[in-house]
A and B are shown apart, each in its own frame.
Chain A
Amino acid sequence: MNNNTQAPALAFDGISCVFASNEREGERYVAVGDTTLHVAPGEFVSVVGPTGCGKSTLLNVAAGLLAPSSGSVHVFGEPLTGVNSRAGYMFQAEALMPWRSAISNVAAGLEFRGVSQPDAEKAAGEWLKRVGLGGFENRYPHQMSGGMRKRTALAQTLILDPDIILMDEPFSALDIQTRQLMENEVLALWQAKRKAVLFITHDLDEAIAMSDRVVVLSAGPATRPIGEFVIDLERPRDVAEIRVHPRFIELHEQIWSVLRDEVLKGYARQMEVSA
Chain B
Amino acid sequence: MNRTVIGGWRLRGAQFGLLAAIILIWHVFTDPELLPPIYFDNADQAAFFFGRPAEVASRIWNWFASGEIYRHLGITLFETCMAFFIGTVSGLGMGLWLALNDNASAILDPYIKALNSMPRVILAPIFAVWFGLGVWSKVALGVTLVFFIVFFNVYQGVREVSPTLLANARMLGANQRQLLRSVYLPSATSWVFSSLHTSVGLAFVGAVVGEYLGSAGGVGYLILEAEGNFDVNTVFAGIVVLTAFALFLDSMVGAVEKRLMVWQPRTAQSERL
Contact = CB atoms under 8 A, between A and B. Distances in A.
Interface of A: 60, 63, 65, 83-85, 87-89, 91, 93-101, 108-109, 112-113, 140-143, 156, 160
B173 A142 contact: no
Given A91-B167, A95-B164, A95-B168, A112 B174 contact: yes
Nearest to B261: A99
**Interface-centre pick from B168, B171, B182 (highest chain A CB count, 10 A):** B171
B172 interface: yes
B171 A94 contact: no
B265 interface: yes
A105 to B, nearest CB: 10
Nearest to B183: A97
A126 to B, nearest CB: 18
A186 to B, nearest CB: 18
Contact of A112 (B172, B186, B189): B172
Contact of A97 (B171, B175, B186, B264): B186
Contact of A100 (B178, B263, B265): B263
A140 B178 CA distance: 20
Contacts of A160: 172-173
Contact of B165 (A83, A89, A95, A143): A95
B268 to A, nearest CB: 10
B164 A93 contact: yes
Closest 7 pairs between A and B when the two form their complex, measured CB to CB: A95-B168, A142-B265, A109-B172, A99-B186, A112-B173, A89-B171, A99-B263
B169 A97 contact: yes
20 contacts: A65-B167, A65-B171, A83-B170, A91-B164, A91-B167, A91-B168, A93-B162, A95-B162, A95-B164, A97-B183, A97-B186, A99-B186, A99-B189, A112-B172, A112-B174, A113-B173, A140-B263, A142-B263, A142-B264, A160-B173
A24 B136 CA distance: 54
Contacts of A108: 169, 172, 174, 182
Interface residues on B, range: 20 to 34
Interface string B231-272: 000000000000000000000000000000011110000000
Interface string B215-229: 000000000000000
B120 to A, nearest CB: 33
A14 B70 CA distance: 77
Interface string B153-191: 000000000101101111111110010001100110100
Nearest to A94: B164
Contacts of A89: 167-168, 171
Interface in B91-140: none
B171 A98 contact: no
Nearest to A156: B172
A112 B171 CA distance: 10
A142 B162 CA distance: 16
Nearest to A95: B168
Contact of B171 (A87, A100, A101): A87
Given A97-B182, A99-B186, A140 B172 contact: no
Contacts of A113: 173
B171 A63 contact: yes
Nearest to A65: B167
Contacts of B175: 112
Nearest to A108: B172
Nearest to A153: B168
A109 B172 CA distance: 5
